[in-house]
Amino acid sequence: MNEKHTKPEKAVQIILILISVLFITVMLIFPLFSVIINALKKGFSFYLSALSTEYVLSALKVTLLATGITLLVNTFFGVIASFTLTKYHFRGKQILTTLIDIPFSISPVIAGLSYIMLFGSLGIAKPLLDRIGAFLGTDIQIVFALPGVVLATIFVTFPFVSREIIPVLNQQGSEEEEAAALMGAGFFTIFRKVTFPHMKWSMIYGMILCASRALGEFGAVSALSKTRGQTFTLPLEIDALYLSGTADSIVASFAVSSILVLISILILILRNLFEYRAKKG
Amino acid sequence: MFQKKANHLRRGTALILTLSLMFSLSGCGQSSSQKNTGNQVTITNVSYDPTRELYQAYNEAFTSYYKEKTGTDVEVVMSHGGSGGQARSVVEGADADVVTLALAHDITLVENAGLIESGWIDEFDKASSPYTSTIVFLVRKGNPKNIRNWDDLIKDGMDIITPDPKSSGGACWNFLAAWYYADEKFGGDEKQMKDFVAKLYDNVSVMDSGARGATTTFVENGQGDVLLAWENEALQSVKEHPDEYEIISPSISILAQPSVAIVDQNAEKDQVADVAKDYLEYLYTEDAQKIIGEYGYRPSDENILNSFSDKFDLDMKLCSIDDFGGWDKAYDTFFNDGAIFDEIYNQ
Amino acid sequence: MKSITSKKQPKNIIPAFGINLGITIAMLSALILIPLASILAYSLRLTPGDFFRTLSSEPVRFAFGTSILCSFIAAFINAVFGTIIAWVLVRYSFPGKRILDGLIELPFALPTAVAGITLSKMYSTTGFIGKIFDRYGIRISYTHIGLTIALIFIGIPFVVRAIEPVLEKYDPSYEEAACMLGAGKTETFFKVTLKELFPAILTGFGLAFARGIGEYGSVIFISGNSQKEHTQVISYMIMQKLNYLDYGQATAIALAMLIISFLLLLFINIVQIRQAKRKGA
């Protein structure tokens, strides 16, 4: 950033880089290698065949579907909520902000169970659901079916986008928007012209976190997805393979894990590409 | 202004898209009402963790048998997990047509929710238990610590792996087997029995949340000298790694009777009650009993069980849950908060 | 689109307050609050006596202690290293930086169960890292240390990704000004930069902390779940109760957990909003 680097400065820089590399290596790269080594233990052709089973393909489809919808819903929510919480003045702001953060701290076990207690056989909303079902002439299943999987995924990643945007908008303050509003600009103009450029990067960060977390969510989904090949997501399939306990299936489970890692790396490459273009143009 | 409208539209579209997606997803649930289309039947079997391989093989056999018999294709959807949790999911609304769980008590839970008619235990032979299993010791090859029986487990320096009875129903059997041995040894002197079992649990180094986790700790992570394991799981570990492990059968252990039942309410709703009944009855046929034996469960058919005598130690003395006054009583006496397990473990 | 501002508050100049707040609250209620309320209602079925007996029983108390202590330590370590890593990733350029940056989300993409299994294997006395420590008599897997490592693993993305966007938007002119006024580099960092970054660090810390308290999947494999050595975590206690269909006790613990995390997050949000106000004023 600065043109001249003095010597002690350079030393600090090197030390900090070394610390970061070391920390990331021990905490993140080692486990990653461990997954990859285990995945390829039985050779590449076994790896491929482990990935192309019917169960894995079905799980991949469910995972991508759930992640896609989750990303849509949570980004929409995140943008609106963070705008509301940083640009307006109203009472109870802290409480609302904190309520949005709740899913972070809820044990995933409870997250899944909460939908079961709403829509399941013992659920409060079950009679209502049955009545709607009877009216439509169908049997509406939410938990232990795909909608439940999607809802649970939305739940655990709900605050991710807003959480990333809020600090940035807070730092920016709201004078620019207020000035624009005084000049007579409408909401969408203010949002598009003033706020969005500020929040863009943090929104993308948030979306990536949200997508990665949605891909890997296990606890909440496992509470309400029980049938392999139908409502299983990749993490559940990995778990099922691992718990089968045979040497083959354990290797297969690591092979499937590596897909999740690949997908999330893919998302990051996309982001970097996007970022590079944006900074260039 | 035009821009503004366009943005407005885009936003609206996103919202509508989201809502319609949610709705179409709810629609996916519909297919569940189409489980019996005449020549294609789908049934769901909710089972517990270690039966994955068994039912994979069994389902294949049953599917071809049923196709031959009736010309109908059956697809069996499996669900596995901890037995108690699986029973819970059926109570909470998972669409199970049959349940094949680790203990009769878990099926009673489903019965209490009104999903299974009472008297299910007499619906199939042998108290609806087509196969049984027991608790054995899995040790490292060559048995370096020379473990022969329960007495050896309480020696100093012994490192035992067994799951937590407070979180896994299956793990309770390990405790009860040890308790029963102590009962025989000390002739019912409760103080000595408690001391014995307390010493044993003192030697437990890792207490996993479930049987599978314990197996992983012992086999994959190489922890411990001995794993208290289900016989079928121990047999599988030995089959996978014949040069690394061997099985020791203690003189006394406990007979576990996994039970099966039709979830009447769901099966009738899905119009698959007949298939479900055939599915469970077929478990008792000679072909199925052989598959059961091959996958390490003890067949309930005496003759077939005897033909596997090289695999199972048939000389073990096995007690059953009835010796403890049934599951509910055993749970209250031993595993409830503040009961015997807490007492001896927290000493 | 009329604003429904409270009269005591300053009037909102930016338009569309009502509809934005409405969307935020509606989505929050439908997706998070109503399901949560429907499960927590179960804990109200316990008598107050039973409720407090559940929470004050020894295993539950110790589990709370373990969860909070280990999560705090893990979040603290993450805050320190996360700040360094974010700083390095934003401010310096060096070969391989993009790859390091891309690895940060790995803990999200890896299903928690896989992470737990992998970590417990790596750090057990036969694993390749655990072996080294075992030589010095330090056991990692199945102790508090292992538990904390698992929590560091799952928490690191929160901290790094909370700080990065703020740091990217952060204007180095303050630092330069401080420098020109004669402050040393180190002094500048601690007095100017760190102060500016503090809300973001605190956010990251809080999220990692809250997530740690609720974590289940990655922890159960590595913690050993020993009641005696107090390595049971609070999510595990909930699972214990659920496995015996004890909804009352399970939800009572969940409620207590929720209140603790809520207060924690509320505190962080208040600090953050205060900071924003000070800036805005």
CATH number of the structural domain spanning residue B209: 3.40.190.10
Q: Are residues B106 and B224 in the same domain?
A: no
What is the distance between the alpha carbons of residues A216 and A35, in angstroms, rounded to a whole number?
14
Q: Are residues B82 and B227 in the same domain?
A: no
Mutate to test the interface with B, among C232, C245, C251, C253 (most CBs of B within 10 A): C245
Interchain proximity C111–A234, CB inside 8 Å: yes
Q: Are residues B148 and B188 in the same domain?
A: yes
pLDDT category at A210 given cuts 50, 70, 90 is very high
In a domain, B158, yes or no: yes
Query: Residues C115-136: what's their mean pLDDT?
Result: 89
Q: Are residues B46 and B121 in the same domain?
A: yes
In a domain, B123, yes or no: yes
**Residue of B88, B164, B216 lying closest to C242 (CB–CB):** B88
Are B165 and B341 a contacting pair, CB within 8 Å? Answer: yes
Helix, coil or strand: residue B74: strand
Q: Are residues B282 and B197 in the same domain?
A: no
Q: What pLDDT, on the 0 to 100 scale, is given for residue B34?
A: 59
Q: What's the pLDDT tens digit per position in B44-72?
A: 999 988 888 899 999 999 999 999 999 99
Print burial letters for C74-97: b (CB count within 10 Å at least 16), e (below 16).
bbebbbebbbbbbbbbbeeeeeeb
Nearest to C189, CA basis, from C172, C203, C206, C204: C172
Query: Residues C246-261: what's their mean pLDDT?
Result: 88
Q: Are residues B341 and B233 in the same domain?
A: yes
Q: What radius of gyration, in Å, describes the C-alpha atoms of chain A?
A: 23
pLDDT category at A280 given cuts 50, 70, 90 is low
Residue window 107-146, chain C: list those with CB within 8 Å of chain A. Answer: 107-115, 117-119, 121-122, 129
Are B280 and B124 a contacting pair, CB within 8 Å? Answer: yes
Q: What's the pLDDT tens digit per position in A20-36?
A: 999 999 989 899 888 89
Is ipTM > 0.90 here? no
Q: Are residues B291 and B334 in the same domain?
A: no
In a domain, B8, yes or no: no
pLDDT reading at A158 higher than 90: yes
Q: Are residues B187 and B234 in the same domain?
A: yes
- Mention every residue, 6+ apart, whose C-beta is less than 8 A from residue B207: B162, B163, B164, C224, C225, C226, C227
Residues of chain B with pLDDT under 50: 1-9, 23-33
Q: What pLDDT, on the 0 to 100 scale, is given for residue C114?
A: 82
Q: What's the pLDDT tens digit per position in A181-202?
A: 999 888 999 999 999 998 988 8
Q: Are residues B88 and B147 in the same domain?
A: no
What is the distance between the alpha carbons of residues A143 and A117, in angstroms, rounded to a whole number?
9
In a domain, B24, yes or no: no
Q: What pLDDT, on the 0 to 100 scale, is given for residue C104?
A: 87
Ordered by where they begin, the domains of chain C are 1-45 (no CATH), 47-280 (1.10.3720.10)
Q: Please tell me if residue B337 touches chain C, with a CB cutoff of 8 Å.
A: yes
Nearest to B324, CA basis, from B129, B164, B193, B136: B193
Q: Are residues B82 and B112 in the same domain?
A: yes
Task: Name the H helices within A137-231.
Answer: 146-157, 160-172, 175-182, 187-190, 196-216, 219-224
Residue of chain C minimizing CA distance to A153: C31
Crossing angle, helix A54-87 and helix A160-172, to 10 degrees?
30
What is the distance between the alpha carbons of residues A252 and A231, in angstroms, rounded to a whole number?
19
Q: Is the dihedral of CA B110, B114, B117, B121 positive or negative?
A: positive
Chain B residue numbers touching A145 (CB-CB < 8 A) = 28-29, 32
Q: What pLDDT, on the 0 to 100 scale, is given for residue A279?
A: 67
* Chains in contact with A, where contact requires at least 3 CB pairs less than 8 Å apart: B, C
What is the distance between the alpha carbons of residues A195 and B323, in angstroms, rounded to a whole number?
72
Q: What's the predicted TM-score (pTM) here?
A: 0.85
Nearest to A254, CA basis, from A82, A60, A45, A47: A47
Q: What's the pLDDT tens digit per position in B148-189?
A: 999 999 999 999 999 988 877 778 889 999 999 999 999 999
**Residue of A94, A118, A260 lying closest to C109 (CB–CB):** A260
Record the tokens describing residue C55, joined without a space.
């929470």
Mutate to test the interface with A, among B9, B26, B47, B266 (most CBs of A within 10 A): B26
Q: What's the pLDDT tens digit per position in A234-279?
A: 999 998 888 777 788 889 999 999 888 888 778 877 777 777 776 6
Chain C residue numbers touching A209 (CB-CB < 8 A) = 105, 108, 157, 161
Q: Are residues B41 and B167 in the same domain?
A: no
In a domain, B27, yes or no: no
Number of domains in chain B: 2
Q: What pLDDT, on the 0 to 100 scale, is given for residue B347?
A: 67
What is the distance between the alpha carbons of residues C189 and C192, in angstroms, rounded to a whole number?
6
Interchain proximity C166–A168, CB inside 8 Å: yes
In a domain, B14, yes or no: no
Q: What's the pLDDT tens digit per position in C172-224?
A: 777 777 777 776 777 777 777 888 888 889 989 998 998 899 888 888 888 88
Q: Are residues B235 and B261 in the same domain?
A: no
Residue window 240-279, chain B: list those with CB within 8 Å of chain A. Answer: 240-241
Chain C residue numbers touching A201 (CB-CB < 8 A) = 165, 168-169
Q: Please tell me if residue B238 touches chain A, with a CB cutoff of 8 Å.
A: no
Please report which helix (H) or strand (E) contains residue A264, including its range: helix A247-280
In a domain, B21, yes or no: no
Which domain, by its residues, includes B283? Answer: 35-129+257-307
In a domain, B169, yes or no: yes
**Residue of C15, C156, C216 lying closest to A109 (CB–CB):** C216
